[in-house]
Amino acid sequence: MVQRPGDLLEAHATGTVRASLIERNRDWGLGVTGAEATVETTLVRNTLPRDYDGGFGDGIALTTLWFGSNNTFPARLDLTGVQIETSARAGVGNFSGHVSLANSKVACNAIDLACELLEENLAWQFEDLGGNDCSCGDETTQCKVLTNGIAP
């Protein structure tokens, strides 16, 4: 099996991923960069870091593109009924984008939900729409966003 970066949706694009398996990619499982995506009833698992430096490894990575104040491509991601597990870095990495999460499980990732600012004027948003579980093992854990300085 060839391991490569996952699927990517870029700049002004919109897309929907439904009833899919995204597995054993490097860098990210699904990347949304300056675009809008809806992901439903999909399993993202075993996302690996890059070969050459051990960086990244996000199940789903969401990044707003910013080329100065007059040239911004916002990113939005709506996740419903999704399971994201065993990502090397973050289950969901949100870099100045807007993520909504409903009826989903984000489990056994190094960081389940990571949200970071790219620039001071580009805030991230995370909407917990309920029915989510961020546990690993038998114990149910509420989903919490961490900001710990990881880079997109």
Between 7-11, 15-19, 135-139, the lowest mean confidence (pLDDT) is in 7-11
Q: Are 99 and 92 in contact (CB under 8 A)?
A: yes
pLDDT band at 22 (very low <50, low <70, confident <90, very high): very high
- Residue 10 clears pLDDT 90, i.e. is over it: no
The reply to whether 151 falls in a domain is no
What's the CA gap between 11 and 19, in Å, rounded?
24
As a whole number, mean pLDDT of residues 109-135 equals 92
The reply to whether 86 falls in a domain is yes
pLDDT at residue 2, rounded to an integer: 39
Q: What is each CA distance from 3 to 22, 47, 129, in whole angstroms?
A: 12, 10, 33
The reply to whether 125 falls in a domain is yes
Average pLDDT value over all residues in the chain: 90
Task: Check which CATH number belongs to the domain holding 45 and give it.
Answer: 2.160.20.10
Between 25-29, 76-80, 120-124, the lowest mean confidence (pLDDT) is in 120-124
Domain total of the chain: 1
- Residue 5 clears pLDDT 70, i.e. is over it: no
Domain encompassing residue 117 = 5-146
HEC letters along 92-132? EEEECCEEEEECCEEECCCEEEEEECCCCCCCCEEEECCCC
pLDDT at residue 89, rounded to an integer: 96
pLDDT band at 7 (very low <50, low <70, confident <90, very high): low
pLDDT at residue 66, rounded to an integer: 84
Residue 52 is given by DSSP the state: T
